[in-house]
Amino acid sequence: MLESGARAHVMAGTAEVVGRIMLLEGEAPMAVGETRTVQVRLEEPLPLCAGDHAVVLSYSPVMLIGGGRVLLSRCRRSRELAEGERTLYAALESGDIAGGVGAWLALQTLPVTVVDVAEALDFGVGEVDAALRGLVAQGSVRKLAVGDACLLADAVALDAAMDALTATLSSMHAAAPKETGFTPGAVAHAAWPAADEGVAAALIAEGCSRGVCASEGAEVFDPHSAAAAARVVREACERIVALLDEAGLDAPTLPEVGEQLQLDRDTMTRALRELSLNRSIVKIERDVALSAAVEAHARELVAAAIEAAGGAATTSVLREALGVSRKRAISILEHLDAVRFTVLDKEAGGLRSLR
């Protein structure tokens, strides 16, 4: 009978190392003639790879007690096997390469390379690559691209990684509601602490493709969060101001601005409210606004024309100075009257002067 934890000599070729034979949790001692999957914990390294055979001798007195074939040369030190580990060992024992590759990937929480799989299972890169192509075609394994490299992940494990990303962004936005986004490094460290930069980049890219997250510049954010909505409004504000700056005094109506920029009504309304509050735009009609810079330029033109006219100028003179249509000129001049920049003297024939 062989008890779990029994010391033994393990021989591979001419090399010999002492180790312990560990039976799986709950298993009875091993009887003569019985075959089982066991874990051998060596006290020193032994040059063995998956598929190699080894001879086992009793510790004292030294005598032959059995032998076996290596299923996995790198494994977790535990007598309690998860269901996925049992599936892996069963596939390896039967010589099912694709099954072994798939089972090993299912145990990984992060994407890996073909070389990672080959080294872990002591398989050739070519046979692992062939197995992975089949698994990808079946949909049980997903391929992720990061630069020129290719990473692979079990489909279920990848879904779990995306769930972790969702939860992480939700938590980060809740903790810092004023932040519109976070650095990829901060997000990755919180969601997948063990991921290196390349793996993190691939997972974030996968999250973006699924709509779990969005990335802009140096920030990653939840596209469904309040912060993302604020980002959309902020971007709309920037685009509106840029268009109005370029249009100058002949700015289109606000509905036309929204149509040109393809902004939905809600975003346009919120952006205009924000721009009005921070005085980035100035309304001169109900549906017409100038950017703050353009309105300031209009003041300069009007002031210069009035001074050139001797302190007071007609609407016609000021319209010519502004270089716009009469209708737009009147809108601008009435706005300047309303903000007390100019004053209209109707009794003097409609002359305007500076206040």
What would the two tokens of residue 90 be?
Answer: 């069963």
pLDDT at 197 over 80: yes
CA-based nearest residue to 53, from 67, 32, 64: 67
pLDDT at 246 over 80: yes
Whole-angstrom Cα distance, residue 181 to residue 20? 52
Q: Which residues does residue 210 pair with via DSSP β-bridges, in sequence order? A: none
- Give 177's pLDDT tier (boundaries 50, 70, 90): confident
pTM for the complete prediction?
Answer: 0.68
Residue 271 CB burial class (10 angstroms; 0-12, 13-18, ≥19): buried
Predicted local distance difference test score (pLDDT) of residue 276: 94
- Give 13's pLDDT tier (boundaries 50, 70, 90): confident
Q: What is the pLDDT of residues 26-58, one digit of tens each?
A: 889 999 999 988 999 999 999 899 989 999 999
Task: State which amino acid sits at residue 67.
Answer: G
**Residues sharing a CB contact under 8 Å with residue 75, sequence separation 6 or more, in sequence order:** 39
Provide the b/e sequence for 236-264 (b: ≥16 CB within 10 Å): bbebbbebbeebbbebbebeebbeeeebe
CA-based nearest residue to 20, from 3, 35, 40: 40
Mean pLDDT in residue range 340-354: 88
Whether omega for the bond prior to residue 252 falls within 30 degrees of 0, making it cis, is no
Predicted local distance difference test score (pLDDT) of residue 178: 82
Q: What is the pLDDT of residues 307-344, one digit of tens each?
A: 999 999 999 999 999 999 999 999 999 999 999 999 99
Whole-angstrom Cα distance, residue 135 to residue 145? 16
Task: State which amino acid sits at residue 22.
Answer: M
Alpha helix (H) residue ranges in the chain: 83-94, 97-106, 114-121, 125-138, 155-175, 184-191, 197-210, 226-247, 254-261, 265-277, 292-308, 315-322, 326-338
Taking the CB of residue 306, how many other CB atoms lie within 10 A of it?
20
Mean pLDDT for all residues in the chain:
93
> What's the DSSP call for residue 249?
G
Q: What is the pLDDT of residues 63-115, one digit of tens each?
A: 999 999 999 998 888 888 899 999 999 999 999 999 999 999 999 999 999 99
Q: Which residues does residue 221 pair with via DSSP β-bridges, in sequence order? A: 214
Would strands 53-58 and 64-69 be described as parallel, antiparallel, or unpaired? antiparallel
pLDDT at 147 over 80: no
